[in-house]
Structure 1
Amino acid sequence: MAAPDGGEGPAAGPALWAEVRALLPDAEEGLTLALSGEVEDCVLPLLRRARGLLYGAAGRPGGPEADAMRRLGDVLCDYSWEKLNVGPWRERVRIDPPPVPAVQPEEALPRLHCPSLEHFRDNYLIPQKPVVLEGIIDHWPCMKKWSVDYFCQVAGCRTVPVELGTRYTDEEWSQKLMTVSDFINQYIANENSVGYLAQHQLFDQIPELKEDISIPDYCCLGEGEEDDITINAWFGPEGTISPLHQDPQQNFLAQVFGRKYIRLYSPEDSENLYPHESQILHNTSQVDVEDPDLVKFPNFGKAAFQSCILMPGQVLFIPVKYWHYVRSLDISFSVSFWWS
């Protein structure tokens, strides 16, 4: 460590050393070394050795103890520098996301490639069974065009509501209006922040985006008109979570880019899923699906579930009132179609 007069350590001069010594406890034992558990074990003996040298050099600023302490200080500084710079700093302060869940064969959702309208109606819509559909959105222009950069180009100046926080049931969750560009810069590019763009009118506001998608043909099996179908955009970073909840309409969730881990529970298991008692969150479970408190929610373990990792180009049919939990595994953009 450089001294104010340009010298180094205790050898810098008796006057400076006297000032430093005046700041120290009288006895070596008074200079405690209280370190956090994150400090590696090899550091503490070095610091104890430096403390002993420090007090041994108290009366001899230019003695051998001072030289040894200077060398030991260089070792500690070099070690600290190496630990701080072996990787990007943001990787050190960032909390690593949970690993990608393993979907077991017995819980995996069935997958179908371009089923006929009749097959889908008879085997999934009428009996209300979830299924992953493949090949039905391959022709969408968005599958080749959409990216984070593309959204900046076509929608960067648009002001949209953004949900701030990992999930809407968290106490710190809030909403904020900002431009799409600001959202991308603050919450997509920044790995330490979590925000989610959940927009029900995005495609009406930006015709260029609406032209890149189309309503799935299977929606014609519903009772409503095409104008009654609600199209939603879901855009957010890795780690964003939709807590276990249910919706009052049928849902086609189309994955454009990124991956999502999704778990589904039948409405028949509602009592085992512990919905919130408040009217506002009555459609949302109190249970943290991937880390459940089985002491507080003992019957949750009885509920059977199906799951999948929804890949780009796949569409998940979520029957009305089916409970579903969603976690983004990457920067992700999805389009959902709510229909009756």
Structure 2
Amino acid sequence: MQLNLKQIPRVSTISKDDFIKNYLKPQRPVVIEKLTQDWPAYKKWNLEYIKQVAGDKTVPLYDDRPVKHDEGFNQAHAEMKMSEYVDLLKKKPTNFRIFLYNIMSEVPVLQTDFKFPKLGMRLIKGLPMMFFGGTDSKVFMHFDIDFTNILHFHFHGKKRCVIFPPDQSPYLYRVPHSLIAREDIDFSNPDFEKWPALKQAQGFVCELNHGEMLYMPEGYWHYMHYLTPGFSISLRSYPRKIKNLSKALYNLLFMRHYDNFMRKRKGQEWIDYKNEKAIIRTHENLNIKE
């Protein structure tokens, strides 16, 4: 048995008016295949080019280890030179990923390689973030703290993206006081006996190839599986819905700080409590008996 996933609609190109009408306003995902073909990045961006222009940069690395109480919010697990990291990606599968790498400040030369698409979104110009992963590396199911609308562009290889609308949260074993689902769920091959609520979740899936862009509406859950080594860049705009803006402010101003406070106060007990609560709440809401 597999997750209940529909293929995300794909278009070759799209006008601003059609994007606003059919996807942005109704908050529906879409893949746009040729949006980047007039970018310098379309021809230039590959792992060797990144090594050439950013090889001497020391980059923070993240792996798939579970959240620990003594680690800060988005705290890196290791670091190495970008040149060494690219060599590692090309040599063998690795769990090490680069996460939320701000190219505007870290590698300014890359700024001239991409454009901010005119799709009716007020994109945040100072926050284009890059993400890197090796063959078979996976990003756990989560949603973004700021509830932004996301334009996610992929380069060099292929990435599988599984996404769920916010209304599917009751089925995803969300961990309280956080932005993640249970980290021990493999959304590529879920165990429905252990996680029965997932059988009711209805989401979307796509495979992104070089230069293709996935639009993810605000608050969407997403799980990324790198099928080959590659990297992506995300451009984002603030939430359009007032209720989502208020949720973003709550997450940024209260939830994140409360969670960090409880980690320091209770230690691993707090992490274990949240993980257990994710199961209890999900099954209680769905009347699933243990």
How do 1:63-212 residues align onto structure 2 when only pairs under 5 Å count? 107-163=6-62, 165=63, 167=64, 169=66, 175-185=77-87, 187-212=88-113
Check the 8 A contact 1:168/1:242 in 2, yes or no.
no
Q: Find the aligned partners of 1:109 and 1:192 in 2 and give their Cα distance.
A: 27
In structure 2, C-alpha distance between the alignment counterparts of 1:153 and 1:237, rounded to whole Å:
18
Say whether the 8 Å CA contact 2:93–2:135 is kept in structure 1: no
* Paired residue secondary structure (1:288): coil
Unaligned runs of 5+ in 1: 1-101
Residue 244 of structure 1 aligns with which residue? Answer: 141
Deviations 1:69-97 (A, max 9, x none): xxxxxxxxxxxxxxxxxxxxxxxxxxxxx
Q: Which amino acid aligns with 1:138?
A: Q
Shift of 1:265: 1.2
The 1:193/1:119 distance shift into structure 2, 3 A limit, reads closer
Name the CA shift for 1:103/1:257 in 2 (closer, same or farther; >3 Å). farther
Say whether residues 1:315 and 2:213 are aligned partners. Answer: yes
Q: 1:118: how far off?
A: 1.2
Candidates 187, 208, 214, aligned match of 2:115: 214
Worse overlay, 173-182 or 143-152: 173-182
Q: Residues 168, 110 of structure 1: CA spacing in aligned structure 2 closer, same or farther, 3 A cutoff?
A: farther
Q: Quote the residue 1:269 is aligned against.
A: 168
After superposition, the Cα gap between the structure-2 partners of 1:174 and 1:204, relative to the gap in structure 1 and judged at 3 Å, is: closer
Give the secondary-structure state (helix, strand or coil) at the position aligned to 2:168: helix
Tell me how far 1:200 sits from its aligned partner.
2.9
Q: Return the index of the structure with the highest Cα Rg.
A: 1
DSSP 3-state at the match of 1:264: strand
Percent sequence identity over aligned pairs: 27
The whole-number CA distance in structure 2 between the counterparts of 1:148 and 1:200 is 15
Runs (4+) off by over 6 Å: 170-173
Q: Structure 2 vs 1, CA of residues 192 and 238 (structure 1 numbering), >3 Å: closer, same or farther?
A: closer
Please tell me whether the aligned partners of residues 47 and 230 of structure 2 are also in contact (alpha carbons under 8 angstroms).
no
Task: Give distance in 2, aligned partners of 1:312 and 1:192.
Answer: 19
Q: Which residue of 1 aligns with 2:257?
A: none
Q: Give me the TM-score of the superposition, normalised by structure 2.
A: 0.72
**Match of 2:192, SS?**
coil
1:317 and 1:331, CA in 2 relative to 1: closer, same or farther beyond 3 A? same
2:200 equivalent to 1:290: no
Amino acid at match of 2:162: R
Amino acid at match of 1:232: M
Change (3 A) 1:156 1:335: same
Distance in 2 of aligned mates of 1:301 and 1:251: 27
**1:202 CA drift (Å):** 2.5
Q: Does 1:232 align with 2:129?
A: yes
Write the distance in 2 (CA, Å) between the matches of 1:296 and 1:231. Answer: 38
Q: CA deviation at 1:253?
A: 0.5
- Aligned mates of 2:161, 2:155 — CA distance in 1: 15
Give CA deviations for 1:197-239 in whole Å, capped at 9, x if unaligned: 2243233222221111111212xx23x5643x52111122111
Cα offsets for 1:148-196 (capped at 9, x unmatched): 2222221111122122x2x3647799522321112223x3133153311
Q: Which runs of 5+ in 2 are unaligned?
A: 239-290
Question: Normalising by structure 1, what TM-score?
Answer: 0.62
Conserved 8 A contact 1:132-1:314: yes
Structure 1 residues 332 and 297, CA gap change in structure 2 (3 angstroms): same
Distance across 2 between alignment mates of 1:155 and 1:274: 38
In 2, distance between residues paired with 1:118 and 1:168? 43
Matched, 1:306 2:208: no
- Alignment size in residue pairs: 228
Distance 1:293 1:118 in 2: 42
**How has the CA–CA distance of structure 1 residues 226 and 320 changed in structure 2, closer, same or farther, with 3 Å as cutoff?**
closer
Q: Identify if the C-alpha distance between structure 1 residues 195 and 226 changes in structure 2 by more than 3 Å, giving closer, same or farther.
A: closer
